[in-house]
Amino acid sequence: MCETCGCSDALNHTHHDHDHDHDHDHDHDHDHDHEDHFHGTHTHDGHTHFHPPTPTRSVRVENDILAVNHAVAETNRRWLERYRIHAINLISSPGSGKTLLLEKTLKRLQNRIPTAVIVGDLQTDLDAQRLQGLGARVKQIETVNACHLDAERVSQVLPGVIDETTRLLFIENVGNLVCPAAFDLGETERVVLLSTPEGEDKPLKYPVPFIKASMVLVTKTDLAPHLTWKRDACLDALKRVNPSTTILELSALTGEGMDAWIHHLEQAVRLKG
């Protein structure tokens, strides 16, 4: 995770507590093996075995942060529901094609579905600039030290990016398959992108975002003939992790599979009334 997740703060506190507990002078001799007496180790049959201490303080801090985030996310969700807005949290690793997908999607939805976009990146508003002029209101969030968006950051910009006509909201999360999966933003739907160059084993290595996804978009299918990517293995991995998820294969560049994606969005907005 990252600085604003609290994990580094928790680790610092844990380290501080450990240092404090041992910050005293030793007047007696140290002629024994430190390794044998290090917390969490024992020697058996001439081999030293290390058992790392359970990071109880880190877990507690992280749980507190997630609980606060969840409460704000529920407020966001109620606010979006009140205005009948379908909100999609887009999660993926960097370079999987989120911004290009949004570019092509906004062009096809222009003058059809009033749409807004919140873009998350550590630095710059380059992605927001790419999405300007495509018929959607766009707001960039620079997270600086955070490797994910959280519900509070989203809450702060919602009134500025949503108006009374908005029916669809995309939240392009920071490129990362780990931390964003832990933070509910108040979205209606969570969509994870998996590009063909990433290989077919990512769902098995990073299962959490895929477990929580209602839909997985397998992107950059136009590159598949030029890669060693194994389609059947990829789809099998996705279904092993989340048997109920919907899988769409598409290429935003060529337009292949985009009709099914646009149809899904239109149906979702229609269901909102």
Rounded to a whole number, what is the distance in angstroms from the first to the last CA of the chain?
Answer: 38
Q: Mean pLDDT throughout 72-94?
A: 97
- Pick from 238, 256, 126, 129: nearest CA to 192: 238
On whether the pTM is more than 0.85, the answer is no
The secondary structure of the chain in percent helix, strand, coil, rounded to multiples of 5, reads 45, 20, 35
169 pairs with which residues across the strands?
Answer: 87, 116
**Position 215 confidence tier, pLDDT thresholds 50, 70, 90:** very high
**Position 6 confidence tier, pLDDT thresholds 50, 70, 90:** low
**pLDDT tens track for 7-31:** 444 333 333 333 333 333 334 344 4
**Position 64 confidence tier, pLDDT thresholds 50, 70, 90:** confident
Question: Regarding beta strands 47-50 and 41-44, do their DSSP bridges make them parallel or antiparallel, or are they unpaired?
Answer: antiparallel
* Mean pLDDT, the chain, whole residue set: 84
What pLDDT, on the 0 to 100 scale, is given for residue 117?
Answer: 98
pLDDT of residue 237 exceeding 90: yes
SS (HEC) of 53-116: CCCHHHHHHHHHHHHHHHHHHHHHHHHHHHCCCEEEEEECCCCCCHHHHHHHHHHHHCCCCCEE
The C-alpha angle with vertex 158 and arms to 153 and 162, in degrees rounded to 5, equals: 160
Helix (H) or strand (E) holding 169: strand 168-172
Task: Name the residue with tokens 């180790």.
Answer: 41
* Across 7-11, 145-149, 171-175, 195-199, least confident range: 7-11
pLDDT of residue 54 exceeding 90: no
What pLDDT, on the 0 to 100 scale, is given for residue 62?
Answer: 61
Q: How is residue 8 annotated by DSSP?
A: H
